[in-house]
Every structure is written in C-alpha cells, then in structure tokens.
C-alpha cells in the first residue's frame, strides 16, 4: 500500500536534497491529516449533539423510557455487526471509500428522519439507529487502521492524539450545546445541523488523496509517505527486528488476503504475544464504561434533584479537559522521543482510569470529584492512544480485521454492560455497581501487566544471550507485548 508521495519522491542515498524532500513530504502529509481531523471533529460534534437530541426525540415521540433503551440497543448491535465485516470491506475497498460512504450514509439517514411523515417516524428512527451505529464503527475502524499510511509509522502516536483531541473537544461542544440547540431551534434544526456535519466530514475525506486500506491488494512491507515500513514487522525503537510482528504478518498471509474476518484477526492476535489479552482488556474496559455512563444520571439526581443535568455536564466537561491535556503530553512525548506510549502505559492507564471512575461515585466533595474526573479523562486519553497505536503496528493486511474485532468486543462489552448495569442499579447504589464493573477491568488490567512484565523479562534475557554472542550491548528497551517497540 503506497501513499501518493512514495516511490519517485523517496530520497536516494546519494541525493543531498533527499532529506529536505522527505521533510516536505512529511509536512504535507501532516497538514492533510490535520484537515481530515478538522472534518472528523465537526462530524463528532454532530454525533454528540445527536446523542442528546435523538434520545430526547425518541422519548417525546414514544413517551416511553424503554424506547430509548431499545434505540441504544439497536445502535450497539449495528456497531457489533459492522465490526465483524469491516475487516473484509477494507480488503476490498480503500479506507478512503469506506470513510466517505460512512459519512454519506449517516447524513442521508438524518435527512430521511427529517423528511419522514409522522406515520413512518418509528421506521425512520430504527433506520437511524442502524445506520448511525454501523457507519460510526466503519468510519472509526477505517480511520484508525489507515493512519500509518497517511502520516507514516513514526508519526502514528501524534496522529492518534490529534484525532482523539479533536473528538474530545467536539464532545464538550456537542454535549454543552445540545440543550440550547434543541430548546432554541427544535429537533428538526438539530437533525439538519447533524446532517451538515457529516457532509463536512465527507467533503474533507473526498478532497484528500488518502492512500490507506486495500490490505488484500497491498503488502504489509510497502512504504508509507514518510518512508517507513508499515506493519508490525518494522524495527522497534531500539533498532531490533520485532519477531512477533513477523509472526503476525505471516499469520495474515496464511489466512489469505480475501479470507473471512475471523481467521485473519484471531491468527494475527494469537501470533503476537499478549495482544489478544490487550484486546480482551479493551472489551472489559467497555463493560466498565457502561456502568459509569448509566450511573452518572442517577448519582447526579441524588446530588441535586432539581437540576441533575448540571453535575453530568460538568463532570464530562472536566473529563474532556483531562483527556485533551493527556493528548498534548502524549504528542510532545512522541515528538521528543520518536516512540509511542507502550503496552505498559495502556495497562497502568486502565487501572488509574477505572479507579478514578469508582472514586467519582464515593460522595467526595465536589472539588475533589472534579480532580478525579480530570484524572479519569487523562488516563482514558492515555489508554486510547496507546491501544490504538499498538494495533496500528500490525501488518496492513490484518490491521483492519484486528480493529474490527476490537470494535466488536467493545460494542459487546458496552451493550452487555448496559443491560446488566441497568438491572443492578435497581437494587444497588451507583458506587457498588460501578465498583464491581470497573473492578473487573482493574483485575484484567493487572493480569495484563503481569503478562507484559513476563514478556519483557523473557525478551531481555533473549537479547542478552543473543547479543553476548554477537558482542553487542543489551539495549533492554523492548516493549513487552511484542508488536511494537513504542
């Protein structure tokens, strides 16, 4: 898979201007990616605005709280199914095409909702929940799996942080303005605004010469626009060849470029030690996330029954500030060291984040709770960028399958969690329910960290033995989950 700047633009060894040309290509790639992130942030604003407007609209239209739950269930189920098929789509179509049509589909279904007569509102709402859930997953997987081809392997941590920052800012703006938009201009205008945001994102995708996708037609060893190897088989930050990455690449080749998603994704995860557990932890983390999402409104009512929305809005705003702050730190770390936050960062971040969410329901003073929300947001941002960067080191022909499987597990964990948590909140306090759900994530995270520590010890012992024979010093900085050196 090649970017538009590959091949002829690649600097030659005897070309004195090659370095400058490479820097220009990198700057152009980053500028284009910033443009894409701007469009993604705009569509994310519409998504979060819609989460509030649609739920209120469903409740007012049906008069039943159960309808809101069913709407969310259909949306999550659609995302679950999309996660199963997106890997196959990315082997047949470019990531650009998938992202473009995902936005077009979401914009079109919002227009359908606006134009639907009263007698067809239920059907239109069902269509909205299906399309929004499925297309949201398709876009996210296509974007994340194609980032190494867009900006280069060495800039993926920066790119991930930038996209997460854009989404976090959009979340704050979307949640903060949803009530005012619905109150001042009504549901129809809110849906039209949402449709317009998807159109903006589609335009940014269409205007960019994005290379990404088509894992079946490319090879994992092709060069990106930044001139780096893609896939998990690249050399790690210490300069040693990543053996498990080569195993993952061979696993993808054995599975066949046009094979079903399951063999490809599972073979790739099984070939990289610890990566399967990492993806499983992400699913358990989504289960924990369902608990605080469901419990926050109930906890807010207990704090201020007359105006419960204040605490929820303030909590998520402070959480987003922590998330954005973490992205800035991660970006500077990546720029300074040239390395991504590794598997240990993901494990420790999950522990801190889960513990912070539990503490948020402990009834502490509001000032302390605000600090806790800030910590939860920062840890959440750290885990997301480290996890995404890690999966992006898989070979191009299996990367989309792995991201699709991850999205499936996340939707499954969140969906099952919403059902179980809703039932548990009828009998237990929010603190107890959130404590159990996020406690499970902490337990799995500890197991994951122990696994990473064991892999690091084994890797360092192997390096010392091999380098003693070759007479080279031990660098000793391998990551543990042997997919990336970052």
- Whether 10 is in a domain gets the answer no
Identify the H or E element spanning 63.
none
Q: Say what percent of the chain tops pLDDT 90.
A: 22
User: At 223, is the secondary structure helix, strand, or coil?
Assistant: strand
- Distances in Å between the Cα of 288 and the Cα atoms of 69, 117, 136, 451 are 18, 39, 21, 21
The answer on pLDDT for 160 being more than 90 is no
Q: What's the whole-number mean pLDDT along residues 425-452?
A: 92
Which pLDDT tens digit goes with each residue over 225-242? 333 333 334 443 333 334
Least confident range from 48-57, 93-102, 219-228, 347-356: namely 219-228
- Whether 478 is in a domain gets the answer no
Q: Which two tokens stand for residue 480?
A: 């543990």
- Whether 293 is in a domain gets the answer yes
Q: How far apart are CA 9 and CA 328, in angstroms?
A: 31
- Whether 6 is in a domain gets the answer no
DSSP for 197-210? Answer: HHHHHHHHHHHS--
- Whether 241 is in a domain gets the answer yes
- Residue 167 burial (CB < 10 Å; 0-12/13-18/19+)? buried
Q: How far apart are CA 35 and CA 440, in angstroms?
A: 39
- Whether 7 is in a domain gets the answer no
CATH of the domain at 146: 1.20.1250.20
Identify the H or E element spanning 426.
none
Domains of the chain: total: 1
* Residue 174 near residue 51, CB atoms below 8 Å: yes
Q: How far apart are CA 139 and CA 147, in angstroms?
A: 12
Number of H helices, E strands in the chain: 13, 0
Better-scored residue on pLDDT, 392 or 101: 101
> What is the pLDDT at residue 222?
39
pTM recorded for the entire structure: 0.71
Q: Nearest-CA neighbor of 154 among 485, 387, 380?
A: 485
- Residue 399 burial (CB < 10 Å; 0-12/13-18/19+)? buried
Q: State phi, psi for 3 to the nearest 5 degrees.
A: -85, 170
What average pLDDT does the structure give for the chain? 76
Which pLDDT tens digit goes with each residue over 10-52? 444 445 555 555 566 667 777 888 889 999 999 999 888 887 7
Q: Nearest-CA neighbor of 219 among 211, 228, 230?
A: 230
Q: How far apart are CA 415 and CA 406, in angstroms?
A: 14
User: At 65, is the secondary structure helix, strand, or coil?
Assistant: helix
The answer on pLDDT for 109 being more than 80 is yes
Q: Count CB neighbours of 154 within 10 A.
A: 21
Q: Nearest-CA neighbor of 48 among 317, 292, 298?
A: 317
What is the domain extent for residue 356? Answer: 17-470
* Torsion angle of C-alpha atoms 18, 22, 23, 25, degrees rounded to 10: 140
- Whether 475 is in a domain gets the answer no
* Residue 161 near residue 330, CB atoms below 8 Å: yes
Contacts (Cβ under 8 Å, ≥6 apart) of 105: 131, 135
Q: What's the whole-number mean pLDDT along residues 362-381?
A: 92
């Amino acid at each position: 898979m090649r970017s538009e700047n590959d091949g002829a633009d690649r600097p030659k060894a005897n070309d004195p201007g090659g370095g400058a040309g490479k820097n220009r290509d990198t700057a152009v790639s980053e500028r284009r990616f910033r443009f894409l992130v701007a469009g993604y942030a705009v569509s994310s604003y519409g998504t979060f605005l819609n989460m509030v407007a649609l739920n209120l609209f469903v409740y007012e239209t049906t008069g039943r709280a159960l309808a809101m739950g069913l709407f969310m269930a259909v949306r999550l189920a659609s995302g679950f199914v999309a996660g199963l098929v997106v890997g196959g789509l990315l082997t047949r179509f470019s990531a650009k095409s998938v992202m473009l049509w995902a936005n077009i589909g979401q914009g079109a279904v919002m227009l359908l909702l606006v134009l639907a007569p009263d007698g067809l509102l239920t059907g239109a709402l069902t269509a909205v929940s299906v399309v929004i859930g499925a297309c949201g997953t398709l876009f996210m997987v296509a974007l994340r799996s194609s980032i190494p081809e867009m900006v280069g392997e060495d800039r993926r941590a920066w790119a991930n942080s930038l996209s997460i920052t854009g989404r976090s800012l959009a979340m704050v703006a979307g949640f903060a303005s949803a009530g005012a938009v619905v109150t001042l201009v009504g549901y129809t205008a809110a849906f039209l605004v949402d449709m317009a945001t998807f159109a903006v994102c589609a335009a940014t995708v269409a205007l960019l010469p994005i290379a990404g996708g088509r894992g079946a037609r490319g090879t994992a060893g092709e060069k990106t626009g930044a001139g780096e190897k893609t896939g998990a088989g690249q050399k790690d930050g210490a300069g040693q060849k990543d053996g498990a990455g080569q195993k993952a690449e061979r696993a993808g080749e054995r599975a066949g470029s046009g094979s079903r998603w399951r063999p490809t994704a599972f073979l790739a995860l099984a070939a990289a030690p610890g990566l399967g557990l990492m993806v499983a932890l992400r699913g358990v983390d989504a289960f924990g996330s369902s608990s605080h999402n469901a419990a926050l409104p109930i906890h807010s009512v207990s704090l201020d029954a007359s105006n419960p929305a204040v605490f929820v809005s303030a909590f998520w705003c402070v959480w987003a500030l922590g998330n954005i702050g973490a992205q800035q730190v991660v970006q500077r770390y990546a720029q300074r060291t040239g390395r991504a936050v590794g598997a240990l960062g993901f494990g420790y971040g999950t522990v801190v984040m889960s513990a912070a969410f539990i503490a948020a329901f402990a009834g502490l003073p509001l000032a302390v709770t605000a600090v806790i929300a800030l910590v939860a947001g920062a840890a959440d941002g750290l885990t997301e960028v480290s996890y995404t960067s890690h999966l992006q080191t898989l070979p191009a022909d299996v990367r989309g399958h792995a991201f699709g499987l991850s999205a499936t597990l996340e939707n499954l964990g969140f969906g099952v969690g919403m059902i179980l948590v809703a039932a548990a909140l009828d009998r237990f306090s929010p603190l107890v329910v959130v404590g159990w759900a996020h406690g499970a994530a902490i337990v799995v995270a500890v197991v994951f960290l122990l696994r990473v520590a064991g892999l690091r010890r084994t890797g360092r012992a192997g390096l010392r033995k091999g380098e003693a024979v070759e007479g080279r010093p031990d660098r000793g900085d391998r990551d543990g989950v042997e997919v990336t050196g970052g």
